Amino acid sequence: MTTPAQEFLRAAAQESADIPRRKAIRHAVDQYDAAVQHGRQQFLDYEGARQKCYEIKWEALNHLDEYLVEFEKNVNARGGHVFWADTAEDARGYIAALATQRGVRTVVKSKSMVTEEIHLTAALEKLGMRVFETDLGEFIVQLRNEPPFHIVTPAMHLTRADIAKLFREKLADAMSSGASSEEPPELVAAARRALRQAFFSAEMGITGANFLIADAGMIAITTNEGNDRLGTAVPRIHVAIAGIEKVVPRLEDLAMLWPVLATAGTGQTIACYNSLIGGPRASGEIDGPEEFHVVLLDNGRTNLLADAEQRDVLHCIRCGSCLNACPVFRTVGGHAYGTTYSGPIGSVLTPHLRGLNEFQHLSYASSLCGACTSACPVKIDLHHHLLHNRRNAVNDADRPWSERAGFKLWKWAMQSARRFAFVGSVGRAAVRGLHRLGLAGTFLDPLRTWTKFRAAPPIPRKSFRAMWRENGSR
C-alpha cells in the first residue's frame, strides 16, 4: 500500500513534468492576477479591508459558542432545522437518512467543498440516488469522475478542447448543434440543457454556505452562475452544510466580506449572485422549499480552535487566492495533493483534519516563500503555520531516523567554530575529490539529490574564514 506521502511524490513528479498542464494553469493564474489588480481598485485601502475581514473572523471564532447558538436559535425561529455534526459520518448519516425518509431520488448540488470533504455524493449514490453537480466547473469534473482541481475553479486544469471532447462523449444528446464546436457559449448551452432536467426533477437541493449569519439566522451563498438559486427554490427540500467556522456575527459584516471574497476569489468587484436564505417557504410566499436544514460540521475543527497558535486557519473563506499565489500549486496542480483542500491552506489544514502523521509531508512540500500569506484576504499566517506543522511533526510524528540523527550531528558541529570549520573543509575536500574522480551523481556523492536536477555549485577551495584570515582582516 502506498502512503499519501509516496503518492504525493509520484503525482508531483508526474505533474511537474507535464508542461502543457502547467502552461494551462499558468495561463489561468495570469488571467486571475490581472483581474485581481482590477478588483482591488474598488477598495480605497485593500490592506484595511483585509484587516477588517480578519477582525470579523477573529471575533466570530473567539466567540464561536455564542454565535453558533444564536444562529441556530434564529434559524429555528423561522422553521428551519439545525443539525450539529461532530464527524463526517454524522453529517452523511443525517443527510442520507433525511433523503431516504423523504423518498428523494434526485439531488442537485451547488458547489460545496464541505460536501467533498465528507464524500457526500458517493454516500447518496450508494443509496441509489442520482446526484448532479450544477456548478459548471463541478459538473465538468463530475463527468470526468474527478475531484475538483481547485477550490474555486474546479476545472482550471482543462482546456476548452478538453471540455468539448468530454461533452461530445458524455452529453451527446445535449450537444445538439455544431458537434465540433469548442465555443464557450455552445458548451455552456449544452451543460444547461443537460442540467435543466435535473433541476426540475430533483426533490432535494444541497448547497454549502459561504457565511452563516448569526444575528439574522441566515446563510449566505455566493455563486457566479445562479445555480444555487434554482437549486434552492425548486426542490422540496434544501439542505445546506457548512463548517462551524463559517459563522459571522452580523448581517452587515457581509458589506465587507462579499466584495473581499469576490476580489480575492476571482478578481470581481462583487460576485454575480449573492443569496441570503433564512428558512423554508413561509406562508404567503410563492416559492422556496418546504423544508430547510442546516448541517453544522465540526470534523476536527474544534481541535484547531483549541490550538491558539493556528486558530486563525479557521478564518479561511475558501477564496482560493493562496492556491493561485502558490508556485508549488502552479507546478503540481490540485490533484497531486490527494486532499479535499489543496494548495497552502490544504497543506496547513489537512494535518489537523486528517492526521499529522499521514499528512505532514504537505507541510514540507513548500519553499516557504510566503506568497500565500501575502495573498490571503483574511490574513492567515499560512507559511508560518507550515513551519509550526513541521515542528509538530518532529515533536509528535514519525520522521526518518537519519534526519533526526543528522540534525543532532548538525547541532553538535554548529556549536563550535572549530568543528564548523572542520566539517566545512572536509565536506569541500570530499566533494571536490569525488567529482574529480568522476563519481559525481553516484550514490557516494553527497550532492546527488542536488545534481539530479541542477549543475553542481562550484566548490570553493577556501572558506570565507580562511580568506578573512589571510587578507580580509587587513
Partner 1 sequence: MDAVRVLRRIGCEVDFPEEQTCCGQPAFNSGYWNDARPVAQRFVRVFRGAEAVVCPSGSCTTMVRVFYPELLTGTNLSDEAKSLGSRVFEFSEFLIKVAGVTDVGASFPHRVTFHDACHGLRELHIKPETRELLRHVRGLELIEMPRSEECCGFGGTFATKFGMISAAMGETKAGNAESCGAEYLASNDPSCLMHIDGILRRRNSQVRTIHLASVLARTESADKGPEVKSHERSAE
Q: Does 472 bind partner 1 (CB under 8 A)?
A: yes
Nearer to partner 1, 20 or 103 (CB): 20
Cα separation, 132 vs 137, in Å, equals 12
Residue 461 DSSP label: S
CA 150 to centroid of chain Cα atoms:
7
DSSP 334-375: TGGG-SSS-HHHHHHHHHHHH-HHHHTHHHHS-----HHHHH
Determine if 122 is a binding residue for partner 1 (CB under 8 A).
Answer: no
Residue 205, beta-bridge partner list: 108, 238
Cell of residue 131, nine digits: 446526484
Residue 257 CB, shortest distance to partner 1, in Å, is 25
Q: Does the footprint of partner 1 cover residue 367 (CB under 8 A)?
A: yes
Contact status: 327 vs partner 1 (CB under 8 A):
yes
Nearest-approach distance from CB 195 to partner 1, in angstroms: 37
Exactly one of 187, 332, 345, 348 binds partner 1 (CB under 8 A); that residue is: 332
What is the Cα–Cα distance from 100 to 96, expressed in whole angstroms? 6
When asked if residue 36 is in the footprint of partner 1 (CB under 8 A), the reply is: no
149 burial (CB, 10 Å; 0-12 / 13-18 / 19+) is buried
How is residue 85 written as a grid cell?
A: 455534526
Residue 105 found at the interface with partner 1 (CB under 8 A): no
Using rule CB under 8 A, residue 40 touches partner 1: no
Q: Which three cell numbers stand for residue 128?
A: 441509489
**CB 411 → partner 1: shortest distance, Å?**
4
Residues 6 or more apart whose CB falls under 8 angstroms from that of 472 comprise 464
> Least distance in Å: CB of 3 to partner 1?
15
Question: Which H/E stretch holds residue 436?
Answer: helix 417-436
Q: C-beta of 464: minimal distance to partner 1 in Å?
A: 4
Per-residue binding string, partner 1, 414-443, x by CB under 8 A, is xxxx--x-----------------------
Closest CA to 217 of 253, 247, 237, 243: 247
Stretch that binds partner 1, among 70-78, 160-168, 313-321, 362-370 (CB under 8 A): 362-370
Tell me how far apart the alpha carbons of residues 90 and 96 are, in angstroms, rounded to a whole number: 10
Burial level of 421, CB count in 10 A (0-12/13-18/19+)?
middle
**Residue placing its CB nearer to partner 1 in the complex, 15 or 253:** 15
Cell digits for 83?
A: 443539525
Site string for partner 1, 226-265 (x = CB under 8 A): ----------------------------------------
Contacts of 116 (CB under 8 A, 6+ apart): 147, 148, 340
Nearer to partner 1, 166 or 368 (CB): 368
Helix (H) or strand (E) holding 219: strand 218-223
Shortest Å, Cβ 421 to partner 1: 9
Closer Cβ to partner 1, 176 or 367, answer by number: 367
Site string for partner 1, 52-91 (x = CB under 8 A): ----------------------------------------
Q: Which is nearer to partner 1, 200 or 450 (CB)?
A: 450
Residue number, 208 or 343, with CB nearest to partner 1: 343
User: Taking the CB of residue 275, how many other CB atoms lie within 10 A of it?
Assistant: 19
Binding residues for partner 1, total number by CB under 8 A:
59
Residue 316 CB, shortest distance to partner 1, in Å, is: 19
CB atoms within 10 A of CB 6: 11
331 binds partner 1 (CB under 8 A): yes
Could you say which residues in the range 280-319 bind partner 1, by CB under 8 A? none
Residue 9's SS3 state is helix
Compute the least distance from the CB of residue 291 to partner 1, in Å: 47
Q: Which is nearest to 128 in space by CA: 95, 92, 103? A: 103
450 to 78, 197, 323, 446: CA distances (angstroms)? 63, 56, 27, 9
Q: Which stretch binds partner 1 (CB under 8 A): 110-118, 273-281, 282-290, 459-467?
A: 459-467
Q: Show the binding pattern over residues 379-418: x = contacts partner 1 (CB under 8 A), - = does not.
A: --------x-xxxxxxx---x---xx--xx-xx-xxxxx-
Nearer to partner 1, 185 or 400 (CB): 400
Q: How far apart are CA 57 and CA 55, in angstroms?
A: 5
Residues that bind partner 1 (CB under 8 A): 9, 12-13, 16-17, 22, 327-328, 331-332, 364-371, 373-374, 387, 389-395, 399, 403-404, 407-408, 410-411, 413-417, 420, 449-458, 460, 463-465, 467-468, 472-473
